[in-house]
């Protein structure tokens, strides 16, 4: 399977009378975008704005972040199985407006979204302070149920990304990246002396505001599934997750999964990267045991020498992570874990909700409980008072001068468990 990602570097963003890219400047036709989104009769109102790196702008509460892109060849445009007809992802060419992002904003079910600051203290904690952001603030019609509300906002963000992504259709990319891997047998024959490595990516799949979708299928309903790495890099996986903002994997992060990219970079050099196992996270013990057993089985069937396992969320998913670790290690498969820590504001509490003697190779994305003070913004997109009900916020977290005091819990992407962020922890 061969995928070409054509990056069109975006150096600025503005609103105008057309949607286009010229000399690295992305212009978005606000009126046409709003009209497009309001074709969904569940949407009452849409507000469009922009936020650039360095602007004293705060975005809150954030639902998702999506990279605008367009399919040039080798599949259906958009998000197959969701906004487009089902089709294979991971082949052909996709053009990406690299450096731009769609950020959806608005209360969903009243809690568990996050904040992005484009400047200052807050900017250093979130990777999305460095993207040129088009914000889409969505109000839905009165009386719809929470599940429909969440779906409406999720689809609006994806459709906005499709609309804006069309601007890259006829543009010559500044850079073309090629990701190509044959079958597991072909790659094993090509690199017989390299260790075979799988990536097991755990996904939140625990109900409303705790969902992930693969080709439009809610991953709650699946057993662990094997994907070619190219599929996730090409819109096959989207976020429906508004759990703690710090370690939710946004759709943008799925599209640019840094663990996949790092493993790809070593493919054929230090490792034979064989693909991704998408692992649902369940709330029941039976669900956890079933998913971990099935993951272990796939790892063994494919003959992996090692597996990298990343988590999404914390608390009860820590058990899924450690159970997978125990089972794979007992099969003789070296296991590396990527997680974050809920270690208390002083960093001294037990970092995970479970432990295992087999967990000897663990990468930390940071402490979700670390408290930061974010200075007053010149402009707030959304509603700053939402901090009172975000995970990591509290009543009184919005100070009189407009500052926010909150845990990293509330900052989008701050402790990413796929490594798409700016920090880690260090053992002294």
Strand ranges, E, within 74-190: 92-98, 100-105, 114-117, 132-140, 175-180
Phi, psi of 3 (to 5 degrees): -125, 130
CB atoms within 10 A of CB 95: 26
Q: At what angle do helices 317-330 and 285-301 cross, to 10 degrees?
A: 40
Active-site hit among 242, 246, 276, 325: 242
Has 425 been annotated as catalytic? no
Comparing CA positions, the residue from 53, 55, 122 lying closest to residue 375 is: 122
Nearest to 253 by CA among 291, 215, 288, 212: 212
Q: How far is the C-alpha of 61 from the C-alpha of 385, rounded, in Å?
A: 9
Residue 345: both structure tokens together: 């504001």
Strand runs labelled E in 57-158:
57-66, 69-73, 92-98, 100-105, 114-117, 132-140
Q: Answer whether 119's CB lies under 8 Å from 113's CB.
A: no
Q: Which of 232, 235, 166, 6 is nearest to 98 (CA)?
A: 6
Expressed in percent and rounded to 5, the helix, strand and coil fractions of the chain are 25, 35, 40
What number of CA atoms fall less than 13 Å from residue 197's CA on the CB side?
A: 25
**199 contacts 263 by C-beta, under 8 angstroms:** yes
Burial, 389: exposed, middle or buried (Cβ in 10 Å; 0-12, 13-18, 19+)?
A: middle
123, 6, 111, 4: which is closest to 57 by C-alpha? 123
**Would you call 105 helix, strand, or coil by DSSP?**
strand
What is the β-pairing status of strands 404-407 and 371-374?
antiparallel
Catalytic residues: 242
């Amino acid at each position: 399977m061969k995928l070409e990602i054509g990056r069109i570097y975006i150096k600025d963003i503005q609103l105008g009378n057309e949607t286009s890219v010229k000399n690295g400047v992305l212009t978005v036709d606000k009126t046409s975008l709003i009209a497009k989104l309001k074709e969904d009769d569940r949407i009452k109102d849409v507000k469009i704005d922009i936020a650039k790196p360095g602007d004293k702008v705060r975005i809150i509460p954030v639902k998702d972040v999506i990279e605008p892109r367009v399919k040039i060849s080798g599949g259906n445009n958009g998000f197959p199985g969701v906004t487009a007809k089902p089709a294979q992802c991971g082949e052909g060419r996709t053009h990406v407006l690299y450096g731009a992002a769609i950020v959806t904003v608005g209360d969903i079910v009243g809690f568990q979204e996050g904040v992005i600051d484009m400047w200052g203290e807050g900017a250093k904690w979130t990777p999305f302070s460095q993207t040129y952001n088009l914000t889409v603030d969505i109000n839905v019609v009165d009386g719809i149920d929470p599940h429909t509300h969440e779906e409406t906002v999720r689809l609006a963000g994806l459709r906005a990304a499709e609309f804006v992504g069309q601007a890259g259709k006829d543009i010559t990319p500044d850079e073309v990246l090629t990701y190509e891997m044959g079958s597991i047998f072909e790659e094993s024959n090509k690199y017989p002396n390299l260790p075979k490595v799988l990536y097991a990516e755990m996904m939140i799949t625990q109900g409303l505001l705790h969902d992930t979708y693969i080709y439009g299928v809610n991953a709650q309903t699946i057993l662990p599934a094997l994907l070619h790495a190219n599929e996730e890099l090409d819109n096959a996986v989207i976020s429906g997750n508004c759990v703690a903002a710090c370690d939710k994997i946004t759709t943008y992060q799925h599209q640019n999964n840094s663990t996949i990219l790092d493993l790809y970079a070593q493919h054929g050099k230090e490792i034979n990267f064989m693909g991704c196992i998408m692992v649902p996270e369940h709330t029941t013990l039976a669900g956890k045991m079933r998913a971990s057993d099935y993951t272990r089985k796939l790892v063994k069937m494919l003959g992996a020498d090692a597996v990298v396992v990343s988590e999404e969320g914390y608390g009860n998913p820590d058990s899924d992570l450690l159970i997978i670790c125990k089972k794979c290690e007992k099969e003789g498969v070296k296991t590396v874990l990527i997680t974050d820590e809920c270690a208390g504001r002083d960093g001294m509490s037990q970092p995970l909700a479970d432990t295992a003697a087999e967990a000897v190779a663990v990468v930390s994305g940071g402490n979700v409980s670390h408290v930061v003070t974010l200075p007053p913004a010149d402009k707030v997109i959304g509603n700053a008072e939402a901090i009172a009900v975000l995970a990591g916020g509290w009543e009184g977290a919005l100070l009189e001068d407009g500052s926010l005091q909150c845990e990293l819990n509330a900052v989008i992407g701050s402790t990413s468990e796929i490594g798409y962020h700016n920090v880690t922890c260090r053992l002294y």
